[in-house]
Amino acid sequence: MPQVNGRFVPDMKSPRTADNEEPAAERACDFRPVDKGFTEEMALAEAERCMDCKRPFCVEGCPVNINIPKFIEQIRAKNYGGALDIIREESMLPAICGRVCPQENQCEGKCVRGKKGEPVAIGQLERFVGDQPELASAPKMLPKNGKKVAIVGSGPSGITCAGELARNGFDVTVFEAFFTGGGVLVYGIPEFRLPKAVVKREIDGLEEMGVHFEYNSVVGNITNAEELFEEGFDAIYVATGAGLPKFLNVPGENLPNVFFANEYLTRVNLMKANNFPEYDTPTKHGKNVVVFGGGNVAMDAVRTAKRLGAEHAIIAYRRTEEEMPARRAELHHAKAEGVEVMPLVSPLEFVAGEDGTVCAVRVQKMELGEPDDSGRRRPVPIEGAIEEIPCDVAISAIGTNANPFAAKIGGQMELNKWGYIVADEETGQTTDPRIWAGGDIVTGAATVILAMGAGKKAAASITASLTGAAE
């Protein structure tokens, strides 16, 4: 480590360490992880680029304010366990966040080195230490306090809350509708971006801490809030996500082989439809696939279609590439894998072929007009500019709504007019003082780190409320 008068001197000349990716043509044929992560040598070189700023803007950019320069300093000292302990003070899931957080809009977007060049690869460094959990200190567990908490949903918000509460001495049971834990991390985000084993490792860790998981348990169906309280639970945290697909509301949307992205991804990610008939769930392996949307979900769907054998895979988006909300890395990877981006189009109608399944989609060409409420320029139809794109699979990835089961969970929770749970921003407490809520079911579809942050805040509030401990 270069030093002058005992002080670390950053390496200002080195370019950002390039990602360690599988070659695009090879990886697009199977579900292997696209990014292999930094080697130790790469991590040490990248850590030397951090300037250890007096005012680290990167920390302000991180939604949970991880002490980034401090953990990078520990990497430079080769104390990887120490680096992980620092991250874990704020984030329970570094191996996951290092892989999927939109760092370019968060920590790396604020990194001072990014002003005149490339920011420090903070996400890759987080992942590097997150992938060595065996080096971290054992979690400090408080003695059991005799209180029981039920968590509804095992996505990032639910499992973060569960982990925090287990550490604080609570008996925690997580009720999950699916047969396995992780929420979108397992059913939505594909293996090539976030291996299932990484998520399982986190769930296993929680089980080792004493968290109990009840799978195939839909709260609002097999049981509800009042029954859980009668069974002896002292509080409930609801983290059911926002997985209800939004309709395109165009003719032909119900045709065979027109999918919602979440359904398509769940079939492949969770039900292993790519291995049909070895596994029971089939899906259509399209040759010409069109995906509508411009976010991470659309990217995951189109890259999955490519891996299922699509020769022509298109992302059709009503604005331009610049306005796409997807992580830049995903767009870059998709294009490298041969995905075509078709900007400024909006679907008008899905057309059926002779066999009754979708054979084309008619689209309206758009142009950008004045900015809308989101600050992005509004797409406006160009009169008479209509095209037909041939396809044998079409996928809609234009967003999701609140999970409707939230309304059936019961208690005195208030929902807003869109079906999201009303909860205090700081504590997560709902209008029913026995119930807390957080993650996508409160904010609408957002990010993993925000869902985790909500779980952590709620755990602190539940702890304070049930034990009187200071938050």
Query: Which residues of the shown chain bind ligand FAD in the complex (CB under 6 A)?
Result: 100-101, 152-158, 175-178, 183-184, 188-189, 217-220, 239-241, 243, 262, 265, 296-297, 300, 327, 403, 405, 439-440, 445-449, 451
Kindly list the distances between the CA atom of residue 1 and the CA atoms of 77, 158, 179, in Å, as whole numbers in the listed order: 8, 40, 48
Tell me the backbone φ, ψ of residue 2, rounded to 5 degrees. -65, 135
52 forms part of the interface with ligand SF4 (CB under 6 A): yes
CA distance 456 to 438: 9
Which amino acid would we find at residue 322?
A: E
Please, are residues 283 and 314 in contact by the beta-carbon 8 Å criterion? no
User: Among ligand FAD, ligand SF4, none, what does residue 113 contact (CB within 5–8 Å per kind)?
Assistant: ligand SF4
User: Among ligand FAD, ligand SF4, none, what does residue 458 contact (CB within 5–8 Å per kind)?
Assistant: none
User: Among ligand FAD, ligand SF4, none, what does residue 431 contact (CB within 5–8 Å per kind)?
Assistant: none
- Number of residues located near ligand SF4, criterion CB under 6 A: 14
Between 379 and 439, whose beta carbon lies closer to ligand FAD? 439
Closest distance between ligand SF4 and the C-beta of residue 277, in Å? 49
Size of the chain in residues: 471
String of DSSP letters for 170-190: -EEEEE-SSSSS-THHHHTS-
Stretch that binds ligand SF4, among 54-62, 170-178, 379-387, 401-409 (CB under 6 A): 54-62
Closest distance between ligand FAD and the C-beta of residue 304, in Å? 9
Closest distance between ligand FAD and the C-beta of residue 153, in Å? 3
Between 10 and 399, whose beta carbon lies closer to ligand SF4? 10
Between 186 and 351, whose beta carbon lies closer to ligand FAD? 186
User: Among ligand FAD, ligand SF4, none, what does residue 34 contact (CB within 5–8 Å per kind)?
Assistant: none
- The residue among 435, 430, 428, 434 whose CA lies nearest residue 456 is 428
Between 329 and 445, whose beta carbon lies closer to ligand SF4? 329
112 forms part of the interface with ligand SF4 (CB under 6 A): yes
Closest distance between ligand SF4 and the C-beta of residue 36, in Å? 22
Between 269 and 364, whose beta carbon lies closer to ligand FAD? 269
CA distance 141 to 94: 20
Closest distance between ligand FAD and the C-beta of residue 414, in Å? 17
User: Among ligand SF4, ligand FAD, none, what does residue 50 contact (CB within 5–8 Å per kind)?
Assistant: ligand SF4
- Kindly tell me the burial class for residue 26, based on how many C-beta atoms sit within 10 Å of its own C-beta (0-12, 13-18, 19 or more): exposed
CA distance 318 to 343: 6
Stretch that binds ligand SF4, among 14-22, 44-52, 353-361, 392-400 (CB under 6 A): 44-52
User: Among ligand SF4, ligand FAD, none, what does residue 188 contact (CB within 5–8 Å per kind)?
Assistant: ligand FAD
Helix (H) or strand (E) holding 450: helix 448-467
Closest distance between ligand FAD and the C-beta of residue 349, in Å? 26
CA distance 250 to 205: 45
CA distance 52 to 65: 15
Closest distance between ligand FAD and the C-beta of residue 154, in Å? 5
Between 255 and 270, whose beta carbon lies closer to ligand FAD? 270
164-203 positions binding ligand SF4, by CB under 6 A: none
51 forms part of the interface with ligand SF4 (CB under 6 A): yes
- Interstrand relation of 393-396 and 340-342 (parallel, antiparallel or unpaired): unpaired
111 forms part of the interface with ligand SF4 (CB under 6 A): yes
373: Cβ–Cβ under 8 A, 6 or more apart, which residues? none
8 forms part of the interface with ligand SF4 (CB under 6 A): no
- Interstrand relation of 393-396 and 7-8 (parallel, antiparallel or unpaired): unpaired
String of DSSP letters for 195-238: -HHHHHHHHHHHHHTT-EEE-S--BTTTB-HHHHHHTT-SEEEE
Closest distance between ligand FAD and the C-beta of residue 448, in Å? 4
Closest distance between ligand SF4 and the C-beta of residue 63, in Å? 15
Between 68 and 448, whose beta carbon lies closer to ligand FAD? 448
SS3 289: strand
68 forms part of the interface with ligand SF4 (CB under 6 A): yes
Please, are residues 183 and 446 in contact by the beta-carbon 8 Å criterion? no
Check residue 293 and give left, alpha or beta (phi > 0: left; psi -120 to 50: alpha): left
Binding interface with ligand SF4 (CB under 6 A): 50-53, 56-58, 68-69, 111-113, 120, 122
